[in-house]
Amino acid sequence: MARPRTRRRLAARLRNPQCRNRSHRNHAGSRTVTPTDSKFEVAVLGAGIAGSTLAAILARHEVKVLLIDSGTHPRFAIGESTIPYATSTMHVLAERYRVPELAPLSNFKDTATHVSTMCGQKQNFGFVYHEPDAPPAAEKANQVMVPIWWRTEAHWFRQDIDTYVFNQAVRYGAVPRLNTCISDIGVDPHSGAELRTSSGETFTAEYLVDATGFRSVLAERFGLREVPTRARTHSRSLFTHMIGVEPYDDVAPLRYGQPSRWHDGTLHHVFDGGWLWVIPFDNHDSSKNPLCSVGLTLTGAAALADREAPDKEFADFLRRFPAVAEQFRTAKAVRPWVSTGRLQYSATDTVGDRFCLTAQSAGAVDALFSRGLANSFQTVNALAWRLIAAAREKDWSTERFVGVDAIQQRMFDMHDDLAYSSYVAFRDYDLWNVMIRVWDTFNFYTEAALAHTFSRYQTTGDDELFRTHERLDSGLAAMMRELLATARTTCEAVDRGELTPGDAAATLRAHLEQGRFWPTYMPQGKPDTRYFYTNPDLTTQFMYWTRTEAPQRIREYFA
Ligand SMILES: Cc1cc2nc3c(=O)[nH]c(=O)nc-3n(C[C@H](O)[C@H](O)[C@H](O)COP(=O)(O)OP(=O)(O)OC[C@H]3O[C@@H](n4cnc5c(N)ncnc54)[C@H](O)[C@@H]3O)c2cc1C
């Protein structure tokens, strides 16, 4: 149900810290904007990957788009590890909206060939569990392989990827205004948005999309932030890019026997209180990038504590975990560490009269499980067809967009359930070992559902299939929500001290078994298997199972 909204005129004088010391001279894209160029159908504020992807699609469909950013390209951006849902959605965007230039971003090989030689491959999600001042144990490690015969995910060197997508938006006709600071903004429910730049130019647009990310102009200036956030997850991060990071495979004090090299994927060093990501860009023959993205995310008391300088905090962390430290013996940061405040924020409304926030502007949960890009592209997918139709029909009524709010709020809550439950599970390996199965089950079925819809679309060309899919009202989607809700309530009981981690693990294991998400021959269906890898034959057998013997709600979806 859409929330009731008041119709209002929003206006504010903006104080963007990025703009404060900037000269009023405009360094925007090559095009000089004349007064007749100042009227647009859609203004996209924020030319990051979400804003640029949306602008490319809209411009491709002859919507008159303005794409404004206070910064420029190329520039550093975080959010580097892709997941199948993100890249599959990118593939959907490329075909559904006929923007073939987006297709190379749907798999590592094409990205490396057509977009950038600075990205890494992601052939697995690796999780190695650590206890402070104790050697790691071989039986406390998990890996979910992305089978090479199926696909290869990527470690995006974002400055290249974002520049590429931005350039495509401009190529299709979006009018770029980089290095452009907005000093005043007005949104009128009847006439749309008016944007004034600090250099004195004025732009109008029928509709305003705020893709400015965590400093969302509209959310923060017009009071859309939920205070306090409803997120249960509470964490903060420090991150940088490093050179000289040793592959964990080469320095680990023991052999784990996992199917894929840790360094060929995104490695999560997990411990009670947080996790460390290692995202190599240097892990493929085609890569010319010697760097790794490294980030430490902390929860609990450490998330609240006064912070030391991030390099010192990282060094302290390494002292507590000597096995992890081996990876960083010769590593050096090549750019200053970024130390964030609390990562979580949310919005009461992500859609209003004549405006919409994209996913990262609306809210964020955590880097854990790399869901940010997936959420961003899902929002773009839901927003693009609505905006194209609104521009064609000259009808920008809010009712057309409320579905986007429902999608974004749901994405936020599901990610929060996953991240919150995982942080609780980090306290005890047995619980974490089950929580990984919860995440993998969710991860697998949500992507499989999208892939199924996409394949039917490719056969029929029926766009309605995507509109049905985005409503997430299938029995399968309900199963996923129930699974995450069970994980959350179980972990909340652990948090309150009402349940031991062992009992919580048993509860979740029972839910997975009773739900029959997996046949027993699949690795996820075997309680003792910690490395999930399937071959094509097993996968074919499994896909047949989803149509024949699986529980009804799974069968119905894939029939
Ligand atoms: C620590 C961390 C780790 C993450 N790791 C992952 C990961 O591994 N995988 C994953 O999928 N996601 C990850 N994410 C999420 C990911 O970063 C986001 O999903 C993604 O970057 C969102 O892209 P965007 O274009 O919406 O926002 P951004 O990339 O933030 O782009 C926003 C743009 O708006 C511009 N802007 C800002 N303010 C203004 C203004 N006032 N006026 C004009 N322009 C403005 C900025 O210059 C920028 O270009 C991570 C997030 C964090 C915080």
Asked if residue 162 is part of any domain, the answer here is yes
Helices vs. strands in the chain: H and E counts, helices first: 18, 20
Residue 3 counted as domain residue: no
How many C-beta atoms lie closer than 10 Å to residue 375's C-beta?
Answer: 26
Inter-residue contact 133 to 320 (CB < 8 Å): yes
184/104 same-domain check: yes
Does residue 69 sit in the same domain as residue 214?
yes
How much is the average pLDDT of 159-164?
A: 98
- Give the chain's mean pLDDT: 93
Residue 143 contacts residue 436 (beta carbons within 8 Å): no
Question: Could you give the C-alpha distances from 275 to 24, 381, 491, in angstroms and in order?
Answer: 43, 31, 18
Atom 40 in ligand 1: residue holding the nearest Cα:
70
Is residue 40, in this structure, part of any structural domain at all? Answer: yes
Q: Does residue 276 register a pLDDT over 50?
A: yes
User: Do 130 and 244 belong together in one domain?
Assistant: yes
Q: Are residues 371 and 434 in the same domain?
A: no
Q: Which domain holds residue 543?
A: 428-558
Q: Measure the CA–CA gap between 185 and 203, rounded to whole angstroms.
A: 10
Does one domain contain both 148 and 161?
A: no
438 and 502 part of one domain: yes
- Average pLDDT in the 372-397 region? 98
Mean pLDDT over 524-537 rounds to 93
Task: Scan for tokens 């894209």, then name that residue.
Answer: 29
Give mean pLDDT, residues 485-507: 98
Question: Is pLDDT of 16 > 70?
Answer: no
Q: What is the pLDDT of residues 195-245, one digit of tens each?
A: 999 999 999 999 999 999 999 999 988 899 999 999 999 999 999 999 999
Q: How many domains are there within the chain?
A: 3
Domain termination site, one of 291, 315, 339: 339
Of 317, 339, 361, which residue sits at a domain end? 339
Provide the pLDDT for residue 303.
Answer: 79
Residue 300 shares a structural domain with residue 334: yes
**Are 438 and 520 found together in one domain?**
yes
Mutate which of 13, 49, 67, 87 to test ligand 1's pocket (most atoms within 8 Å of Cβ)? Answer: 49
For the chain, how far is it from start to end, CA to CA, in angstroms? 29
Last residue of a domain, one of 339, 362, 388: 339
Mean pLDDT, rounded, for 281-291:
97
Q: What is the pLDDT of residue 301?
A: 80
Domain-located, residue 252: yes
Q: How far is the CA of 213 from the centre of ligand 1 (A)?
A: 5
Does residue 4 form part of some domain?
no
Query: How much is the pLDDT for 4?
Result: 37
Residues 406 and 303 in one domain: no
Query: Region 125-140: what's the mean pLDDT?
Result: 94
Together in a domain, 465 and 550: yes
Helices (H), 188-270: 217-221, 248-251
Q: What is the pLDDT of residue 29?
A: 38
Q: Which atom of ligand 1 lies nearest, measured to the CA of 49?
A: 25
> 53 CA to middle of ligand 1, Å?
13
Task: State how far the Cα of 456 lies from the Cα of 118, in Å rounded to an integer.
Answer: 34
| Residues 160, 143 share a domain | no
Q: Is residue 1 part of a domain?
A: no
Instruction: State pLDDT tens for residues 302-325.
Output: 777 778 899 999 999 999 999 999
> Helix/strand/coil (H, E, C) string of 428-446?
CHHHHHHHHHHHHHHHHHH
HSE-CB at 544 with a 13 A cutoff on CA atoms is 6
Ligand 1 atom with minimal separation from the 86 CA: 11
Ligand 1 centroid–CA 59 distance in Å is 22
In a domain, 73, yes or no: yes
- Domain identity same for 148 and 169: no
C-alpha pair distances (Å), 396 with each of 190, 376, 384, 389, 399: 9, 22, 13, 9, 9
The pLDDT assigned to 23 comes to: 38
